[in-house]
């Protein structure tokens, strides 16, 4: 099976410019950014509830605790939320979830209900197709997240934990090698 395309910064700029023109621009931007800054799978993004991201007193969480029902392998895991993602989610929640309760879906479909894994995948495919990014899929954000961290010398063991992989061999398949990484490597010699 062919792997999802890893997106370059210039690809992501194209995606973000296109998303800004969409009917649900604020929501779609938050979904794309969450994918790229957390490495979550489409199924995980679709399953998020407001209470997974926001505490009872309204603060954004530093970690999202995914229970077994929300993950591919049915193993609970934590997703760490960096400052950029907290800022993005904070803006999204302020504008789109003001009237929501903690059990409501974080990302709501056009019909105001929760996405399912398939509709979330279709959302990504539609966005990437409209941007002309062949080979990009709902897994592109996840693969780009892992590759970007690997290129910053984050160990594969840490990457495996962040990705929720039980084997580092699985994580290694996600890491894309590009010319800049190769140039940087030979400069170390």
Give the span between the Cα atoms of 116 and 167, in whole angstroms. 27
User: Any idea where the domains of the chain sit in the sequence?
Assistant: 9-141
1 pLDDT more than 80: no
Give the span between the Cα atoms of 153 and 147, in whole angstroms. 10
Best CATH choice for the domain 9-141 from the list 1.10.10.60, 1.20.140.10, 3.50.50.60, 1.10.443.10? 1.10.443.10
Beta pairing class for 63-66 and 77-80:
antiparallel
Task: Give residue 35's pLDDT.
Answer: 98
pLDDT digit string (tens) for 105-143?
A: 999 998 888 999 999 999 999 999 999 999 999 999 999
Range list of β-strands (E), 70-132: 77-80
């Amino acid at each position: 099976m062919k792997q999802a395309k890893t997106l370059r910064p210039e690809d992501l700029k194209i995606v973000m410019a296109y998303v800004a023109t969409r009917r649900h621009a604020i929501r779609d931007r938050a979904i794309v950014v969450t994918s790229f800054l957390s490495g979550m799978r489409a199924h995980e993004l679709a399953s998020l509830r407001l209470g997974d991201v926001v505490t009872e007193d309204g603060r954004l969480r530093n970690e999202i605790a995914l229970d077994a029902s929300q993950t591919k392998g049915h193993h609970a895991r934590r997703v760490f939320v960096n400052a950029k993602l907290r800022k993005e989610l904070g803006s999204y929640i302020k504008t789109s979830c003001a009237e929501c309760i903690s059990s409501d879906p974080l990302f709501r479909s056009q019909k105001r209900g929760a996405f399912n894994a398939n509709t979330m995948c279709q959302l990504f495919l539609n966005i990437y197709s409209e941007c002309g990014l062949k080979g990009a899929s709902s897994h592109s954000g996840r693969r780009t997240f892992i590759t970007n961290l690997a290129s910053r010398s984050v160990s594969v063991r840490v990457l495996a934990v962040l990705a929720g992989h039980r084997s580092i061999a699985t994580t290694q398949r996600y890491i894309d090698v590009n010319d800049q990484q190769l140039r940087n490597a030979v400069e170390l010699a």
